[in-house]
Amino acid sequence: MKLKGFLLASILFCIHAAWAQTEPKVVVFDDNEGRSQAKSIFDHAENVFKFGFSEVSRGDFSFYYERHLFRHVSVELGLGRTFVDYMGTIYNTAPVPFNDNRRNSDLGLSYSLSTRIYFYEPMEGWYVDFSFKQRKYNWEYYHSNINQTAFEMDEVYASESHRLRMPGISIGSLFYLSDHLAGELHAGVRHRSDELTRYSMTQGDYRVFETEPQFIAFFGFKLAYIF
């Protein structure tokens, strides 16, 4: 209950902060001809295209598109393919290690949706992000069992999968490297739940296992093109 109350208070605070900055600030500067010009903070980029470099270690090759909506609020969509969870194998959190010689990895799908609220300027600087992300890893697995009745080997190549659902909250910063190139750093917490689909030789059918949801910390880096 305390955690839910904290998250709700955080959301309300961020929404209030975004709406509080309704009046555009004006910065006056001189151009090359000496004429004064006015620039509003709302003269900002509307679109950002990104690639999630840090997610490659999880076998997640995703691209992201962020679009400014109004004031300090934007929305981000992510879509990509998964292959194998390298880090999951290293830290023993993947249900089937990618180096298991009975496993033949297939492509899976990754997607995400998030809403962002920037603290100072739209599409630049610090923000808070409320997101949902799903990854699905697919593979074929070689199962074998000795048939005691027929005195022969039963063999099955079964399509199996591991699905991760992860709503979360994070804080990050979008910073400019050049006129159109930017970097993004973020860190936060996700509420992760796992669904594992595996074939059972004894039952001759698929079984679905679900784990107890748990909170996990995460961080990442994206390289962005702004236009």
Q: Which residues of the chain have pLDDT under 70?
A: 1-44, 145-154
Query: Distance of alpha carbon 209 from its chain centroid, rounded?
Result: 23
- Determine the length of the chain: 227
Task: List, for residues 154-176, the tens digit of each pLDDT value.
Answer: 677 888 899 999 999 999 999 99
Helix (H, G, I), strand (E, B) or coil at 71: coil
Domain locations in the chain as residue ranges:
45-226
- Alpha-carbon distance of 131 to 195, in angstroms, equals 19
Token reading at 202: 């004894």
Average pLDDT taken over every residue of the chain: 80
SS3 content of the chain, % helix, strand, coil (to 5): 15, 65, 25
User: Dihedrals φ, ψ of 39, to 5°?
Assistant: -125, 125
DSSP codes, 160-204: EEEEEEEEEEEEEEEEESSSSEEEEEEEEEEEEEEEEEEEETTTT
CB 15 within 8 A of CB 117: yes
Which of 6-10's residues contact partners 24+ apart within 8 Å by CB, and which partners?
7/169, 10/128, 10/169
Place of tokens 């808070």: 128
45-226: CATH class: mainly beta
DSSP-derived pairing of the beta strands 152-176 and 214-226? unpaired
Residue 105's DSSP bridge partners are 139
Q: Give the pLDDT of residue 48.
A: 94
